[in-house]
């Protein structure tokens, strides 16, 4: 875990990578269309994020001495709505946050698969020795409920409707559910 932590990016560096990918990715890249959308969503989340003092106090009361390592990629819709809020919250609380690019070395995400997939974001709650205390992700309980509804009956709940409902939820929720769920793991 020490190696992954050392090669991970600060949240600011992660945002720089997202910016560069928007301008430097060839249009033939499979993720091309998602980089700009992801960056837009991250910027919106950062712009609308409001620090919840009650949640900060809750974290402070836990006397958490660890760190947060986020496995992510800028093209991911779930990550673009969640990662900025989580990073901003924990950084405001004085907790060190780093972001590991999933596709740069899949050996990390392969240790934390979700139903056999490399789903992101995956948030690792680390103790002060960088041991994994718990994990969260790739989406909130409500997001998982929407996904289950979609998978149960794609004809009555089509993919486009699922994606729209999920993004509307993310935009309104501004990462608060994710932060609350992660705080329970700290």
Question: Phi/psi at 109 (nearest 5 deg)?
Answer: -65, -30
Which sign, positive or negative, has the C-alpha torsion 22, 9, 183, 49?
Answer: negative
- Identify whether 96 is part of a domain: yes
The label of the residue with tokens 């740069």 reads: 104
Is residue 169 in a domain? no
Q: pLDDT value at position 122?
A: 98
Residue 17 has what pLDDT? 97
Domain extent at residue 14: 2-138+178-183
User: What is the tally of structural domains in the chain?
Assistant: 1
pLDDT, one tens digit per residue, over 47-93 is: 999 999 999 999 999 999 999 999 999 999 999 999 999 999 999 99
Q: What is the CATH number of the domain that holds 24?
A: 3.40.30.10
Structural domain contains residue 151? no
pLDDT at 30 over 90: no
Q: How far apart are CA 92 and CA 85, in angstroms?
A: 11
Burial of 87 (0-12, 13-18, 19+ CB in 10 A): buried
Asked whether the predicted pLDDT for residue 31 surpasses 90, the reply is no
Whether the pLDDT of residue 27 is over 90: the answer is no
Average pLDDT over residues 152-164: 95
């Amino acid at each position: 875990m020490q190696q992954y932590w050392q090669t991970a990016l600060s949240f600011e560096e992660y945002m720089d990578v997202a910016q560069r990918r928007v301008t430097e990715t060839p249009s033939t890249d499979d993720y091309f269309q998602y980089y700009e959308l992801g960056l837009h969503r991250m910027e919106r989340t950062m712009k609308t994020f409001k620090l919840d003092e009650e949640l900060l106090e809750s974290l402070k009361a836990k006397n958490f001495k660890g760190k947060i390592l986020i496995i992510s990629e800028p093209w991911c819709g779930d990550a673009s709505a969640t990662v900025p809020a989580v990073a901003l919250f924990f950084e405001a609380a004085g907790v060190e946050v780093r972001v590991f690019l999933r596709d740069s070395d899949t050996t990390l995400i392969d240790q934390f698969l979700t139903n056999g997939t490399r789903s992101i974001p995956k948030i690792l709650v680390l103790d002060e020795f960088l041991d994994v205390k718990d994990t969260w992700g790739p989406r909130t309980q409500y997001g998982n409920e929407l996904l289950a509804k979609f998978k149960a009956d794609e004809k009555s709940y089509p993919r486009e409707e699922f994606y729209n409902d999920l993004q509307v939820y993310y935009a309104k929720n501004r990462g608060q559910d994710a932060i609350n769920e992660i705080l329970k793991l700290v």
